[in-house]
A = this chain, B = another copy of it.
Amino acid sequence: MNLSPKQQKILDCIRESLQQKGRPPTIREIGEVAKISSTSVVNYNLNILQEKGFILRDREVSRGVKLVDLASVVPEGPLSSELVRVPLVGRIVAGLPVPIPETAAAFNVEDTIALTRDIVEERGPVYALEVKGDSMIDALIHDGDIVIMKRQSEANNGDLVAAWLKAEKETTLKRFYRESSDLVRLQPANPTIQPIYVHPANLDIQGKVIAVIRQV
């Protein structure tokens, strides 16, 4: 994902501050390092970095910046995998569209789940949602499971997507296959359950599922 040179410098500054001072930098410290004279420009770029999924911000606290990809902060050790902090932005409920974050900030995210690159290879922004109810059983997803998703409004064949069915007013998690220009097959994960066929116009692709986590 493309970053401007200033944005890359800001990320470097945050990383170095954590490593060298044991604390994230202030807005003004970032400005000094990145040669940005105005706190509003630092704030503007931090908001962009949050939208792009590189950082999380806590509002109205000092040094309220967290790196999402912590890999570069962990000292090299016996562990080769990188850490990823995934924001838990809401819930999947059958009768509602999936809450899709424009930014993590839009949801006032406080909860995150720490995973590793073994589980989340996706480098772009990802987010987590908790499943409520038994409606995702045909996706072999249990009440309480955590679904890790990435934003994607166009589906490719075989993608496991969160789809909002407009006519039925229902969210479903199924594999997407385009059968023809006006027919989409949504295939449940459970092979004993029949797929459903819908017109593409009835469908709103809300994201692609990349992992499911179940704690027993």
Asked if B114 and A190 make an inter-chain contact with CB atoms under 8 angstroms apart, the answer reads: no
A131-158 CB contacts (< 8 Å) to partner B: 134, 137, 140-142
**How many residues of A are counted as interface, with CB atoms below 8 angstroms from the partner's CB atoms?**
51
Q: When chains A and B are docked, how far (Å) is the Cα of A167 from the Cα of B78? A: 44
Q: Which of B21, B79, B191, B208 contacts A74 (CB 8 A)?
A: B79
In contact, A70 and B62 (Cβ under 8 angstroms): no
Residues of B within 8 Å of A118, CB to CB, are 113-115
Are B189 and A81 touching (Cβ within 8 A)? no
Q: How long is the Cα–Cα vector from A137 to B192 in the complex, in angstroms? A: 9
Residue A48 is within 8 A (CB to CB) of chain B in the complex: no
Q: Are B211 and A212 in contact (CB under 8 A)?
A: no
Cα-based distance from A61 to B63 in the complex (angstroms): 10
List A170-216 residues whose CB lies under 8 Å from chain B: 189-192, 208-216
Q: Are A80 and B114 in contact (CB under 8 A)?
A: yes
- Cβ–Cβ contact B83 & A116, under 8 A: yes
**Chain B hits for A213, CB < 8 A:** 119, 211-214
Of the candidates A58, A137, A160, A208, the one having the most CB atoms from chain B within 10 angstroms of its own CB is A137
Interface CB pairs A-B, < 8 A, 13 = A18-B22, A22-B78, A23-B23, A23-B24, A26-B62, A70-B79, A74-B75, A83-B83, A140-B214, A160-B216, A208-B216, A209-B216, A210-B216
Binding site for B on A (CB under 8 A): 18, 21-24, 26, 58, 61-64, 66-67, 70, 73-75, 77-81, 83, 85, 112-119, 134, 137, 140-142, 160, 189-192, 208-216
